Structure 1
Amino acid sequence: MEPKRLLWLLVFVYSARWLVPAEVQRQSRKEVIKPGLNSQMPPFTKDMFSSIGNSTFIGDGMFSKTMNSVKTPQLKPREVVSLVGLLSTVVREELSGCNLVLAYDASDLYSAVVQDLLLLLPNPRQVVLVRSENDLAGIVWVSSACSGYLLLMNQLQPLITFTKTHHHTWDYHGRYVVVCWTLEDLKVISASRKGKKTEHIVGVVKGSGEGEWRVYTNQLYWGEEVRSVTTWRHHRFTSHLDLDLFPDKLADLQGATLKVSTFELAPSIMYYRARNGSLLFRYGEDIALTKTLARVLNFTTLFAEPVDGRRWGNKVNGSWDGMMGELGRGEVDMGMANFFISIKNVEIIDFTAPYKAEMTCFMARTEPLLPRWQSLAFPFHPWTWLAILVGLILAGPILFLLTAGTSTGCGGNPLSRASSLSSDWFYTFGMHFHETQPTLPTKNSTRVFVLFLWLYTMILTIAYSTNLTAFLLVQKPPASIQTIREVHDSGLEVAALGYIFNYTLASSADPYLNGLTKVYRAYPSEDVLFSRALEGRTIVLQNRGYLEFHATTHLNHQGRPRLRILKECFAPYSIAMVLQKHSPLKTKIDLVIGWLQQSGLIDHYFRNSLRLAATTEAYRDESKAGEDTDQERGEGAVVALNLDHTQGVFMIAAVGWLVALHAFLIETFILESGFTRSGYRRRPAPGIKPYKQVGVFIEEAGSSVSEQAACFNPLSGILGPFLPAQPARVGVGRDVQTGEQDGR
């Protein structure tokens, strides 16, 4: 027979009871139900229901004779029929297709109800005999489909004890129908720790009239006690037909007050204070998110800081303090403070869906910029400068050797002038400094050398001059720590707020990250943490958004950040709100957070918070940009070079003047006295004109001055000290400019 026809047949047979007089019903059931006459009650065992294929029995039997000696209230036959009709109607209309759990205690109050329900209900079900809370713990509380629970309990102590223990053994999303003898019993169950987190609890309590049952539902966040929903009289509800016994109690919390634990933690939570220090209001990314949730779900927020001041909290001697402890004890409904999703915390709290994902980064002090005068050396790498210096040193001697080796007699100098090592060095120095040389080479070998020297120096000077402008305008930062390995090798202290990052470092497979646990330290406040970071004694470890905010608010008088984020980050983290374990709010909050993420409002909240923080007195002193050092600005952001930019140029001039002064003093007071003692004169005698082409005044022995002017051998500058000394004599020379002869 089809299940539907069987169900109608059972309903018909069951309804036929109303056509039979009550006395006849009692006589027909005398052998089955004898309230108060335990000797007539046969044991209710699994064998009696071997033909019921959808039932699973847990326990030794329906009723034990040892338990029947307890005096219990009595149900009249009409009340039994009425209760069976109520429960079967609820299952048919509200729990259709759900897996059922039918739990009953060892009293005989609801024995007839259980018998009739097992015959009428088509749902798959577990049948559980409850003698203690351990029997309730044996129920399969997890189901892939919806779950319904029919609890017929006259002795509520096992159920009450179970609601206070076995916190993870309960279906918080299930639909419960609890049959109690008094309203106070139902209130105790609804106010229990598990009852407060269960959305759907329907209570059935015996009414004043025969066959009358009052139906109640738990308030959840709407109120502390249960409220009356309807009344069942004999075979129907007294209220309208479309009664919903299991409404959605979380879509609209009806202005209920939810307590939110938080504390000041910029930029997630910031406090706007009056001048006297009193708190006016809270703002920030997390605050804006909570206010949006309150508007969508229609609840009122009551913010409070952890009473023990422990912020997130730590596990001490087996118990949690701070925000974690308050959530675990049920003192607050939710918490928020840049909370990272971590597996070690799920034993005591629930995380919402993440609303932000960030990396874990390091922050260190920004080292002072290098002085402006060093900008003159920045266009080239130090190795490039070394190569240029080598080329500058070698170019002069090479040119000198080429000119000396290709000279053939008088007038054979390849540079069309008298040559010396010093003059050739000056010649190549001038080319390196892009200075035009009036003397041209006459020999092919010298021409090739000078031609490539011109090309080499031209490329160097153009490359240097084009890069120099940029380095004059922008100060170069010094070399600093940028990678995780450099952090490890530096030996500096790594610190954060709390110990969560220490656990992350300890679980890392990277040996450099793992080694940082030896220098890790947790600080209780931001003031101590960032003061040590600004002193260069600590490297801060936090999520990137948190570090970016503090990098932009810790500025120097020039508007430059005093703290910087290192290039290498690790361990991406998801940030979420935290709720009580098994909180019924999680499903709705996750849904709203998903909407906010898709709309981009999370980032919008973050940017608005930063803009508001920049206008508040608490952050204005730190976030001001400072005076612009580039005061002379023209249109199009063109910066005029000021003294600060060109200080290196004036330093070179000053150094050059000092060197020239020292050379002058040496020539005047030291060399002059030395030449006088050796018989040489630095200046020509009166009436003798200097020879401008030769540029020297001391003639060698055995040669006239005119011969020296015409046929000077450059190698004599090198070999001169090794030649035999000859007395000097006065000769007759010719002025190469006027052609006049001068006698000496």
Structure 2
Amino acid sequence: MLSSSSESLPKNCCYILTIIVSLCAADFRTKNEEDVFNAKMVYLARQVAQDYMSDRLRCIVVVSDEGLLEDFTGYNDTTVLRVLFNGSRDECDPTMHKYILQAFYHKCTRYIVQISKPTCFFPAWFLARNGSTYEKHNPRVLFLPVKPHATVYGEEVLAMNQTNISHDILIAETSPQTPIGAIAMPKEIDPNRPVTLYTNNFWQYVGEPGRIGRIYLDEWSWELGFKNGVDLYPDKVRDLRGKVLRLSAFPYLPYGNNEPMDGSEARILLEFCVVYNCTVVDVDDGHLWGEIYPENGTGVGEAGTIYMELSDFGVGANYLWLEFWPYLEFSNCYLYGALTVMVPRPELLSGLLTPFLPFPLSLWLVIVMCVVVSAVGLHWVTEATIKFAPHFLDEIYKNHKFITYTDSMIRSIGMLVLQQPQRLVTGSPVRHLFTAFEFTYLVITSAYAAELYDFLTIPRTTKPINSVFDLAESNLIWMTDHEVWVFGILHAEDPSIRKAASNFRALPTPELIKLGESNHPYGLGIERMAGGHYTELPYITDKFIEKSRVMRDNYYVSPLVVNMQKGSPYANRLNDIIGRMENGGLYYAWEADCVRKYLNYTKQLDMQWSTRPIKYPPKVLNVADLEGAFLLYFIGTALAVGLFFLEIYFKKGLKLKNSFLNPTPKWFDEYLLGQSGSHD
């Protein structure tokens, strides 16, 4: 038994050794075959890059597994950014988007991808796109297989919603033994060309019924090159083949409307589809311009539906709003839109204010100070004269002027209306000071009379609100139906503009109508278009127009843009249409036509005429114009009578010898009593 076992041992060892040698040879052949295949893929990538990725930026991003495309060096002075894929066939690399983000910073728009899980690329690219605030582009991508006998992966990649963003996706797969489902797929595959090239079906959205994601283009081999020699990146936007484009538009005439689809801005997209063979459908969720919630990737309204890729374009007087800039792409600017406010009309001033209108409040305060200073000064000079110039004592006592503060104040007020005392002490210092004050009051009174004549001749109104500074000064509450009306001034540094923005309110339309038609003064936002027309909003009613006027100045002006998805494939073609539209002057014609078709032209004229200054004819004086003067007269008379009876009450009713209203000081009364005693 032992002998038998010893004889069989060499045979078993030889058998195991043969297996090991066979495996090593197979592994060597496999590695050699993979190395050759990788070299071929590098050659294919270099050929495609040279023919189709030679843009002016000369920058290509290579995303690959470790060991792949290491020999790819680009061409000429091309910059190659390398992103190493650290995932596997089952898991994506969670950090790949951070490295792709560098491509945005370097303005690289071309990508060559050779990774074991190619479906990881577009999700990572979208994360990088959303993380880039300013740089935006539409990617041109080449996908390469990682192994010579790789399974078909193109259909899985092109079934992702993210591929809707690009019309330049090229898939290279190892050729199947039999033709598989693809548009324009030939009946037979050339066995001498092991690589088949497909592009994405850009003319249908991912998820549409009956959609086939791949379109056959060509076949390739290292030795024979391309079979058909077709354009591997055809311009699919030049002819969209009836593709349905989604336009986010809401009723905001004359800019846009969804039933029917029309408007001065909507016609830009309608013209786009005439040129590039597509159709437009409306997307409207009822949230107007909307909002974007980047923390959870959602949004509402025009901006939100574009952000969530539920629509391709958005129109509706879109300004260059910083709030939307990081999440959307703006088209080229065209013409402009201007925001202003309909404010209360100036009202004729009441006759009660007529005596006070000639001078502003600041000048009235100066005049009051002059009266006080003159009263105090005349009294102090009188006392100083009595003290330091006693030879004037008898004459001052006999003259009986400026002896007390009360007497000085009353006489100063009289001087203000040119009622000077009849006689002053000749040669006394009081007379010189009095002359100086008298000259000052003469100038004041003459100026007042001249201004009063003006106010009694030309009707005067409350101060009109003509600018954002007047709006802030008036402290008027003004309102619209959405916060975008103040996006342009929220970040202003001017305190007046910031105050005007703080008085803004965004309310539902029914409440705006109710407040606008109430008796309380409110302002309502309105937009002035480039052609001089105004947007007609539901809350701008006829009743509100009757008592309001359009503010003369705009509080914010901005060029208009069409909103698009970030990195939109239609951006360049749409910008061409916008340029042609501006050169041909079409926008002004579209604006005027939409105003005539959809708006109330009588209301348009009312709003335009409201900006004109009101010219009143010369006034014909009546009692109402002198209400203030009569009021002052009656108040003065009433005070005089009241004080007279009060004096009697203190003198007789309370049996006081001297009332507290006695304007003369005690020493002066004693002086007078002494003089009368000497006469007796």
Please report how far the alpha carbon of residue 346 of structure 1 lies from its aligned counterpart in structure 2 after TM superposition: 1.5
Where do 1:499-538 residues align within 5 Å? 499-525=483-509, 528-535=511-518, 536-538=520-522
Aligned partner letter, 1:230? D
Q: Residues 517 and 560 from structure 1, CA distance in 2 versus in 1: closer, same or farther, beyond 3 angstroms?
A: closer
Partner residue of 1:104?
64
Aligned partner letter, 1:487? L
Matched residues in 1 for 2:142 and 2:104: separation?
A: 17
Please report how far the alpha carbon of residue 522 of structure 1 lies from its aligned counterpart in structure 2 after TM superposition: 0.4
Where do 1:282-293 residues align within 5 Å? 282-293=261-272
Matched residues in 1 for 2:274 and 2:553: separation?
A: 40
Q: Which of 153, 167, 170 pairs up with 1:199?
A: 167
Partner residue of 2:196?
214
Where do 1:541-556 residues align within 5 Å? 541-545=525-529, 548-549=533-534
User: Does 1:138 find its partner at 2:126?
Assistant: no
User: Does 1:232 find its partner at 2:190?
Assistant: no
Return the TM-score normalized by structure 1: 0.52
Check conservation: 1:149, 1:174, Cα contact below 8 A: yes
Matched residues in 1 for 2:118 and 2:139: separation?
A: 19
Where do 1:556-705 residues align within 5 Å? 562-614=547-599, 619=600
Matched residues in 1 for 2:74 and 2:566: separation?
A: 38
Q: Which of 309, 313, 320 pairs up with 1:334?
A: 313
Partner residue of 1:498?
482
SS at match of 2:506: strand
Partner residue of 1:151?
113
Please report how far the alpha carbon of residue 575 of structure 1 lies from its aligned counterpart in structure 2 after TM superposition: 1.9
SS at match of 2:129: coil
Check conservation: 1:356, 1:576, Cα contact below 8 A: no
Aligned partner letter, 1:229? L
Where do 1:117-196 residues align within 5 Å? 117=72, 124-132=79-87, 133=93, 134-135=95-96, 137-139=98-100, 140-142=102-104, 148-156=110-118, 158-159=120-121, 162-163=124-125, 165-168=127-130, 172-180=137-145, 185-192=153-160, 194-196=162-164
Identical amino acids, percent of aligned pairs: 15
Of the structure 1 ranges 281-290 and 481-490, higher mean CA displacement relative to structure 2 is found in: 481-490
Higher relative contact order (CA 8 A, sep 6+): 2
Matched residues in 2 for 1:230 and 1:248: separation?
A: 16
Partner residue of 1:310?
287
Q: Which of 247, 258, 276 pairs up with 2:245?
A: 258
Partner residue of 1:54?
none
Matched residues in 1 for 2:523 and 2:24: separation?
A: 80
Deviations 1:603-629 (A, max 9, x none): 111111111125xxxx4786798xxxx
SS at match of 2:529: helix
Return the TM-score normalized by structure 2: 0.57
Unaligned runs of 5+ in 2: 1-22, 88-92, 178-190, 207-212, 352-356, 359-453, 607-616, 624-680
Deviations 1:243-288 (A, max 9, x none): 21122222322221011111111221246xxxxxxx4x23321222
SS at match of 1:249: coil
Q: Residues 551 and 288 from structure 1, CA distance in 2 versus in 1: closer, same or farther, beyond 3 angstroms?
A: closer
Of the structure 1 ranges 165-174 and 150-159, higher mean CA displacement relative to structure 2 is found in: 165-174
Q: Residues 213 and 354 from structure 1, CA distance in 2 versus in 1: closer, same or farther, beyond 3 angstroms?
A: same
Please report how far the alpha carbon of residue 349 of structure 1 lies from its aligned counterpart in structure 2 after TM superposition: 1.4
Please report how far the alpha carbon of residue 477 of structure 1 lies from its aligned counterpart in structure 2 after TM superposition: 8.1
Please report how far the alpha carbon of residue 509 of structure 1 lies from its aligned counterpart in structure 2 after TM superposition: 2.4
Matched residues in 2 for 1:202 and 1:291: separation?
A: 30
Check conservation: 1:352, 1:576, Cα contact below 8 A: yes
Matched residues in 2 for 1:119 and 1:539: separation?
A: 62
Partner residue of 2:402?
none
Q: Residues 179 and 269 from structure 1, CA distance in 2 versus in 1: closer, same or farther, beyond 3 angstroms?
A: same
Matched residues in 1 for 2:163 and 2:476: separation?
A: 52
Where do 1:21-36 residues align within 5 Å? none
SS at match of 1:515: helix
Q: Which of 457, 466, 471 pairs up with 1:487?
A: 471
Partner residue of 2:255?
268
Deviations 1:191-227 (A, max 9, x none): 4454322232111011133642110012334564121
Q: Residues 544 and 369 from structure 1, CA distance in 2 versus in 1: closer, same or farther, beyond 3 angstroms?
A: farther
Would you say how many aligned residue pairs link Structure 1 and Structure 2?
A: 458
Aligned partner letter, 2:507? Y
Deviations 1:446-480 (A, max 9, x none): xxxxxxxxxxxxxxxxxx9xxx9xx9xxx998764
Q: Residues 121 and 215 from structure 1, CA distance in 2 versus in 1: closer, same or farther, beyond 3 angstroms?
A: farther
Q: Which of 52, 57, 65 pairs up with 1:94?
A: 52
Matched residues in 1 for 2:24 and 2:114: separation?
A: 19
Q: Residues 551 and 126 from structure 1, CA distance in 2 versus in 1: closer, same or farther, beyond 3 angstroms?
A: closer
Please report how far the alpha carbon of residue 136 of structure 1 lies from its aligned counterpart in structure 2 after TM superposition: 6.0
Please report how far the alpha carbon of residue 298 of structure 1 lies from its aligned counterpart in structure 2 after TM superposition: 2.3
Deviations 1:283-326 (A, max 9, x none): 321222221222223221001212xx222113569453222221
Q: Which of 280, 296, 306 pairs up with 1:301?
A: 280
Q: Residues 647 and 103 from structure 1, CA distance in 2 versus in 1: closer, same or farther, beyond 3 angstroms?
A: closer
Who wins on radius of gyration, i.e. which is larger? Answer: 1
Where do 1:392-407 residues align within 5 Å? none
Q: Residues 514 and 210 from structure 1, CA distance in 2 versus in 1: closer, same or farther, beyond 3 angstroms?
A: same
Deviations 1:85-110 (A, max 9, x none): 5444323433457434443224x7xx
SS at match of 1:325: helix
Matched residues in 2 for 1:185 and 1:157: separation?
A: 8
RMSD: 4.7
Please report how far the alpha carbon of residue 345 of structure 1 lies from its aligned counterpart in structure 2 after TM superposition: 0.9
SS at match of 1:301: strand
